[in-house]
Amino acid sequence: MRSKLFLLLSLLLTLPVSAEFLQGDALIARAKQFASELEPDAHSALTGLERTYKVEVKDNKVTVYGHKIWFYPTTASVQNNAYESIYFNQLNEQLTVLTAASITPAGKVNYVNESHQKVIAEDTYNTFTETEKMIVSFPAVEVGGITLIAYKIEETLTPERPFWSIRSYPQQTADMLNYSFEAQWDDSARLYFDNTSELVSCEQQPARVFCHAANLVAAESDSVVNWGDQLGQITLSTEPDWQAIKAQVRPGFVNAIENNQGVQPLVDEFADSADGKQAQIQRIFEFVARDIRYVSRSEAGYDIVPHNVDETIDNRFGDCKDKSALLIAMLRAINIDAEPVLVATKRERPGMAGAAAVGLFDHVVVCFSFAGQQYCLDPTDPYTQWQSTSDWIQGRVALNLSNDASLTTIPRPRYRWQLTAQSDITITPEGVQQEFVTLTFLNEYASLMRQNMAGLSQPKRLEYMVDVYHEVANEDAEPVFEISGVDTMSSRLTTHSETIYEPYFNPQQGISLAENDSWLRGELSSSWLNNEVYGQFYPGFLVESEYKIQVPHEWALNRFPPDLNLEHQYGKLTRSYRFEEGDELDTLYVSTTLSMPSRYLAVEEIKAFNDLLNVFYKQAPITFGHDS
Amino acid sequence: MTDSPRTYHKVAPYRAVWLEGLLTIVTMGCYLFVWFALAARDCKRITGRPFTPILWFFAPLVCLPLPFASHILLKTFSDIEAQRQLPGWSKMQNIAWNGLFSGAYIGAYVFAEFIDSQTLQFVLWAVAFMLFLLLHHRLNRIRQAFESEPMMHRFAGFNALEWVVGLLFLALWAGLFWALGQLKLVNVETTRIEPGTEIVVPEAGVRFTVNQEGWENVPIGTVTDGTAEYELRGPASLNNMWYAVFTYTEHDEFSEVAQNRYATYLEVLPGAQCSASRSLQEGTDLLRSVVSCENTEAGDKQLYISHLIEREKGLVELVGYMWVAPRKYTQYKPQFIKDVKGLITDEK
């Protein structure tokens, strides 16, 4: 009797804290119940009525049950959101849609059939994860209608792949009235839980966790957002910490790198043509980045394990794991102690990573120290010189597989975008201007411009630069360009242009000129930040502009550009001039430097930052003339 | 040829000391030049010595010959007094008078030109003036000794031209003081500024410190066209030196105003050398601009300087101008510029 009473009490205590996963008629009945309880006009955008996850781990088998019920109050919500995306890994996981249907306002149920479902690859270039996405398009969705879906994803933990994790964001970009997450596991796999969301309340027991929340307001969107860094999340993982992640991933790299019979001959060959260690690194990196083409190769057994280095050399292709393994092997052959580093390309805040999970990462690069400097090379990037860092990994959350460190971030340069502009302008007594401009894009900026032009023919490259000139300097001019540095992996990409401008003023009516420092102004105008809700990282730029302006001596210039020394915590603009008189031509030299170091800007700082850009922007004109 | 006293022409009659002093004051000391010429003329007429009275006019004007001219004049006075057995000054008194008078007179010029201490300058002028009146009293006694001699027609000892000039100057001064009195009635009182005084201009929301002597605030419109919010004038001993505070609305663009100042200064100061710089006010993204132009014209130095400060709503500017002799320019310029650059705005 006492044991029965205890069981009853236990059940009563458990009931309010349990995620009720529904499917079939029960789910439809639940959706209809929600529909009947909805207040007219209470919702003006897509609204989630219920979202439930239930995770069960039993005998090394992980099953994730999920159901979602959505309400569509407007035409826009129907047009934009009447589908469901379910992410899974086809190699290891099995997805089953249990129930999917729409319910019209009149109560008619329209079931989803196989023709309404399709699976597409979610992976993008440069990442190693092999994620697929099932898209379920709900039929016959009407304004005021409802959609519902219930599914399960199953995976069996094996000795070869003993790790598993799930990540759930309670708050999303639509209101959600009911959210619950429940997990329970047996002794076959201990799960580790972490919650960074303040909007849900969770209860943890030794082999069970339950979280729930009600009336979650939609997260505000913004111009640039890494949702993973901004929204709180629930993570559940088989791994206790980041060292365990390393223990899972590192052996694959060790094994792949050990099979390196083909490395030494290549390194010896490069050593003959490269003078010094830096040149050898350059040559090796160019080989791996350019001569080994990128092919996604995350087939079964190789989603986190690279192929053997020799196989990659023979194939001359590989994904980021394969290329990283090869690069490490070759660098080690010249005594550079390079290591693989996992990267989460959509994450910048280690503090928001949640529980340790392999699934956090989608990329791998190679890092090493050389001459006291830390370098991180992305061998899938055929455009960036080895001493620069590919812009898509800068500042991203990273995990070095070869040391004891926890999560870190890939170093960022002080200035991601660096440009020098040299303008040589000669003005005739009639006011005709002949302008020669040399632009040198440096480091990551050279990489970006190279990336934009590499796939173009030579005439198209010239057209591209003319378009850039039109956009930045003068849309009516017809500059003639020469370009160098596109087809190499150097730190510089240089363009030369010559432009003739017809007179736009009459020198007889007075000399008062304003030469816009166009390239400086162009960089400023591209730096405006638009976020209004979330903070934003500013990558930093450095522009050094030199003007040499020659004018007829008889113009007798006596008014020159003001010296600028505009120093602010966000950046600095300086300008100085020098004037030299000649027999026929006088020369005005103007040097301007604009430095805006990279930094994170809290949302409340963004307006002040943009205001400063505006102040600097207004100083772009170089003014000079003759007054008497 | 003997040196015995003879009267070839009429000498000037007794002239009241107070009238002589008044005439000197209203003519701002210029009558002193005439006095020396007349004294020399009368000495020549009494003693027959070959003086050229017109040259004596220049003795106090040029300054440096004054001690020598005074020595000759005093010695001649002593000779006449001995001849006529008049009470006179001893040789030591002559030397003392000459030393004091010439020293005070020349010293006042030196202070005006090099040291610019108006107080000391005034004291020296006063000493010289009193000594002059003493000498005039002595000359009166000599002239009285020749009372029986024929005299020129005078009224109270002064001829018609002297009366006309004296009264004209008196009228001018009276008119000037009246006009100044009227200005004071309708505008701010002119007050002297002690060095190191912080000038607060509430209507413009700015303050700055004047660190040089001789400054005074003046009614608006005194040194500008009346568009300033506040005006200060520099030491009166200099040709021209002033500060003026201007304000601009939020519709006035900072770069345009700064640029206009630059162009304007080049126009009003032919051949000027200019410098222009811009910086950010500390801890803000608001600009400040300093434009200064200087030139040399007719031997004098001119300087215009503008310190323009951007505020969230509108602009405020302190403009300084100086037009002085080169030596004064070197002396005044550094602190003059420093004071302009010290403009502080109390509003953001």
User: Could you give the 3-state DSSP secondary structure of residue A411?
Assistant: coil
Which range among A33-37, A621-625, B174-178 has the greatest average pLDDT? A621-625
- All residues at 6 or more sequence positions from A134 whose CB lies less than 8 Å from its CB, including other chains: A85, A86, A88, A95, A97, A117, A118, A119
Q: Do B267 and A628 make contact, defined as CB atoms within 8 angstroms? A: yes
Coarse DSSP helix, strand, coil percentages of chain A, rounded to the nearest 5 percent:
25, 35, 35
ipTM above 0.90, yes or no: no
Please count the residues of chain A: 628
Alpha-carbon dihedral sign for residues A298, A304, A305, A309: positive
- The encoded tokens of residue A397 equal 């959350």
Q: Is the pLDDT of residue B187 over 50?
A: no
Q: What is the pLDDT of residue B84?
A: 84
Please report which confidence band the pLDDT of residue A5 belongs to, taking 50, 70 and 90 as the band edges. very low
Closest partner residue to B285 (CB to CB) among A560, A561, A611 is A611
* Separation between Cα atoms, residue A305 and residue A259, nearest integer Å: 13
What is the DSSP secondary structure assignment for residue A475, as one 8-state letter?
A: T
- All residues at 6 or more sequence positions from B217 whose CB lies less than 8 Å from its CB, including other chains: B188, B190, B191, B193, B199, B230, B231, B232, B233
Q: What is the pLDDT of residue B189?
A: 55
The angle at the Cα of A162, spanning A160 to A164, to the nearest 5 degrees, equals 130
Q: What is the pLDDT of residue B149?
A: 55
Q: Is A581 on the interface with B (CB under 8 A)?
A: no
Q: What is the pLDDT of residue A6?
A: 46
Please report which confidence band the pLDDT of residue B31 belongs to, taking 50, 70 and 90 as the band edges. confident
- The encoded tokens of residue A152 equal 């399960």
Q: Do A558 and B274 make contact, defined as CB atoms within 8 angstroms? A: yes
Q: What is the pLDDT of residue B164?
A: 85
Q: Which of B252, B254, B257, B259 to mutate to test the interface with A (most CBs of A within 10 A)?
A: B259
Q: Is the pLDDT of residue A354 over 80?
A: yes
Summarised one tens digit per residue, pLDDT across range B241-272 is 999 999 999 899 999 999 999 999 999 999 99
Q: How many beta-carbon pairs below 8 A join chains A and B?
A: 56
Q: Give chain A positions within 8 Å (CB) of B262.
A: 559, 562, 627
* Separation between Cα atoms, residue A55 and residue A41, nearest integer Å: 35
Q: Do A567 and B278 make contact, defined as CB atoms within 8 angstroms? A: no
Q: Which of A555, A558, A579, A590 to mutate to test the interface with B (most CBs of B within 10 A)?
A: A558
> Smallest Cα–Cα separation from A371: which of A489, A271, A278, A492?
A278
Q: Which of A408-422, A456-470, B108-122 has the lowest mean pLDDT?
A: B108-122
Q: Which of A168-172, A255-259, A351-355, B52-56 has the lowest mean pLDDT?
A: B52-56
* Separation between Cα atoms, residue B331 and residue B243, nearest integer Å: 17
Residues B189-345, CATH architecture: 3-Layer(aba) Sandwich (3.40)
Q: Which of A524, A557, A566, A590 to mutate to test the interface with B (most CBs of B within 10 A)?
A: A566
Q: Is B291 on the interface with A (CB under 8 A)?
A: yes
Q: What is the pLDDT of residue B151?
A: 54
For residue A615, the chain B residue with the least C-alpha distance is: B285
Q: Give chain A positions within 8 Å (CB) of B287.
A: 566, 615
Q: How many CB atoms lie under 10 A from the CB of residue B149?
A: 14
- CATH 3.40.1000.10 residue window(s) in chain B: 189-345
- All residues at 6 or more sequence positions from A291 whose CB lies less than 8 Å from its CB, including other chains: A316
| Chain position carrying tokens 């350059």 | A282
Summarised one tens digit per residue, pLDDT across range B111-157 is 777 665 667 888 888 999 999 999 999 988 888 888 655 555 677 77
Q: What is the pLDDT of residue A129?
A: 64
Q: What is the pLDDT of residue B7?
A: 45
Q: Which of B269, B280, B294, B312 to mutate to test the interface with A (most CBs of A within 10 A)?
A: B280
- All residues at 6 or more sequence positions from B281 whose CB lies less than 8 Å from its CB, including other chains: B287, B288, B309, B310
Q: What is the pLDDT of residue B5?
A: 45
> What proportion of chain A, given as a percentage, has pLDDT over 70?
95
CA A330 to the chain's CA centroid: 28
Q: Do B277 and A566 make contact, defined as CB atoms within 8 angstroms? A: no
Sheet containing A192-195, strands listed edge to edge, beginning at the edge strand earlier in sequence? A165-168, A234-237, A192-195
Q: Is the pLDDT of residue B1 over 50?
A: no
Closest partner residue to A615 (CB to CB) among B262, B270, B285 is B285
Closest partner residue to A563 (CB to CB) among B262, B276, B285 is B276
Q: Do A559 and B262 make contact, defined as CB atoms within 8 angstroms? A: yes
Q: Is A39 on the interface with B (CB under 8 A)?
A: no
Region A8-29: mean pLDDT is 65
Q: Do B279 and A559 make contact, defined as CB atoms within 8 angstroms? A: no
Region B231-240: mean pLDDT is 86
Summarised one tens digit per residue, pLDDT across range A562-587 is 999 999 999 999 999 999 999 999 99
Q: Give chain B positions within 8 Å (CB) of A625.
A: 263
CA B333 to the chain's CA centroid: 20
Summarised one tens digit per residue, pLDDT across range A308-324 is 999 999 999 999 999 99
Summarised one tens digit per residue, pLDDT across range A90-134 is 888 999 999 999 999 999 999 999 999 999 877 555 556 668 899
Q: Is the pLDDT of residue A11 over 60?
A: no
Bridge partners, A149 (sequence order): A68, A100
More confident of the two residues A19 and A208: A208
Closest partner residue to B279 (CB to CB) among A565, A623, A625 is A565
Under 8 Å between Cβ of A552 and A427: yes
Q: Is the pLDDT of residue A18 over 80?
A: no
For residue B269, the chain A residue with the least C-alpha distance is: A628
Q: Is B156 on the interface with A (CB under 8 A)?
A: no
Q: Give the CA distances from residue A566 to residues A140, A563, A594, A601, in Å, rounded to whole numbers and listed in that order.
A: 61, 10, 9, 20
Please report which confidence band the pLDDT of residue B55 belongs to, taking 50, 70 and 90 as the band edges. confident
> What proportion of chain A, given as a percentage, has pLDDT over 90?
85
Bridge partners, A373 (sequence order): A370
Q: Is B268 on the interface with A (CB under 8 A)?
A: no
Summarised one tens digit per residue, pLDDT across range A53-75 is 999 999 999 999 999 999 999 99
Q: Do A562 and B289 make contact, defined as CB atoms within 8 angstroms? A: yes
* Separation between Cα atoms, residue B240 and residue B215, nearest integer Å: 11
Burial of A49 from C-beta contacts in 10 A (0-12 / 13-18 / 19+): buried
Q: For B49-77, b where at least 16 C-beta lie within 10 A, e where not — what string?
A: eebebeebbebbeeeeebbebbeebbebb
Considering just the CA atoms, what is the radius of gyration of chain B in Å?
A: 28
> Smallest Cα–Cα separation from A363: which of A53, A148, A128, A177?
A128
Under 8 Å between Cβ of A325 and A314: no
User: Could you give the 3-state DSSP secondary structure of residue A429?
Assistant: coil
* Separation between Cα atoms, residue A484 and residue A458, nearest integer Å: 11
* 551-580 in chain A: CB under 8 A from chain B: 558-568
Q: Give the CA distances from residue A138 to residues A32, A53, A72, A81, B18, in Å, rounded to whole numbers and listed in that order.
A: 16, 21, 12, 10, 118
* Separation between Cα atoms, residue A9 and residue A6, nearest integer Å: 5
Q: Which of A573, A588, A595, A623 to mutate to test the interface with B (most CBs of B within 10 A)?
A: A623
User: Could you give the 3-state DSSP secondary structure of residue A6?
Assistant: helix
Name the helix (H) or strand (E) containing B262: helix B254-268
Q: Is B52 on the interface with A (CB under 8 A)?
A: no
CA of A421 vs chain B CAs: smallest distance (Å):
23
More confident of the two residues A385 and B14: A385
Closest partner residue to A559 (CB to CB) among B254, B263, B287 is B263
Q: What is the pLDDT of residue B115?
A: 66
Q: Which of A327-331, B159-163, B194-198, B259-263 has the lowest mean pLDDT?
A: B159-163
